[in-house]
Structure 1
Amino acid sequence: MTHRDDGRRNELLAKLLDYSATHGLSETSLRPLAAAVGSSPRMLLYFFGSKEELVREVHRHARDVQLRLLADTLKDCSNRTDALRSLWQWLSDPMHHNVVRFFFESYARSLHAHGGAWDGFGEASVREWLPQLRQAFGGSDTEATLALAALRGLLLDLLATGDTERVENAFETLLLRL
């Protein structure tokens, strides 16, 4: 691909991620997906090779965006409480619920995807987040694992119930115990 093609491909990836965050990717076929991002099925195949490869690339791009967010959030935090609070504020913000829903859709699909487009998403997500959390928590793998699992569990609960007050109270209790 030429440099110009890389720019168009990156533009499409950003649009595909935006679309996926709102609508998901599980049940979307190539034609409506292409129309939604201002492209054609032929061009999507040109840039990504197949729908499966497109889904993999959207996931990779989503994880890259998350990792940049994680690094930016943690860089100015002086302790684990600040780090967790900063992460929670971003993750639990209603403006980001679509992105978080897409993450959990992809994570859940990866649990049954043996070789498919979602294969490895969940594991990669854990493996990519842990080193940064470990560093923010002073090198403790156990605490980083516990924090990651707790944040994701609280987010699932928040998205499923919408009970912000109860989940926020649980998060504050988590801060006292970690």
Structure 2
Amino acid sequence: MNRPIEPQKKEELLERCLAAAIKVGALDSSINAIAKKIGTSGRMLVYHFGSKHELEQQIISLLETRLREKLWTFQGVSLEETDCLAEPLLEMWRHLTSPEMHGLLKLAMELNQRAIQGDAETQHFLEQESQKWVDSLSQLTNDKTVALSLFHLFQGAILDFLTTGNAQRGQQTIKAFTETLR
């Protein structure tokens, strides 16, 4: 007789797995390596998640949720207040480029790499997540075209930051973009 999965224990394990993935900036570990990093057994992870694939999917989903939670503290600013729009976007950029976000960003870029290499499931997942970001930015700006432009601006700026370490260019681009909205 199998004992039932404990949702609280599963959540705790998922949080620890996400923290471990963020620390190394990658998901490319075996289930036993992940288990070792978080101080449990591979058997326990399989019991709660079924497979490495399912564990990865839940880690990825939690990652995207956490990114949005951390970055949408400025909801409620509208495009009509363009003088005020630059500051929340710059604050978002400062947060994105902070040291505690580096592993999280690397992990997000790993997902993009998987999608580029043709992983259909990751492509589908990223398409859904991208739409959530654009929808959130649309609520912020009240303009779908501006929201899509901001989404692409941040994607490019993040890639530039991760490859060069230069956060100033992203900041300058955000300032220049918000100037064009006036």
TM-score normalised per structure 1: 0.86
CA RMSD, 1 decimal: 2.0
**Runs (5+) with no aligned partner, structure 1:** none
The answer to whether residue 145 in structure 2 is matched with residue 145 in structure 1 is: no
* Structure 2 SS opposite 1:74: coil
Deviations 1:6-56 (A, max 9, x none): 111111111111111122444311111110011111111111111110100
* Alignment partner, residue 106 of structure 1: 111
Q: Counterpart of 2:91?
A: 86
Task: Indicate the residue corresponding to 1:35 in structure 2.
Answer: 36
Q: Which amino acid aligns with 2:140?
A: A
Partner of 2:178: 175
Could you tell me the percent identity over the aligned residues?
25
Q: Which residue of 2 aligns with 1:162?
A: 165
How many pairs align? 173
Change (3 A) 1:159 1:144: same
For residues 58 and 74 of structure 1, the distance between their equivalents in structure 2, rounded to whole angstroms, comes to 25
Residues 132-172 of structure 1, C-alpha deviations (whole Å, 9 max, x = no match): 1101102x111100001101111110110012333332332
**Where do 5+ consecutive residues of structure 2 fail to align?**
none
TM-score (norm 2): 0.85
**Which of the pair has the greater relative contact order for Cα pairs under 8 Å at 6+ separation?**
2
User: Matched residues in 1 for 2:166 and 2:87: separation?
Assistant: 23
Alpha carbons of structure 1 residues 57 and 119: separation in structure 2 relative to 1, 3 Å: farther
- Is residue 2:132 matched to residue 1:128? yes
Rounded to whole Å, the distance in 2 between the matches of 1:38 and 1:158 is 33
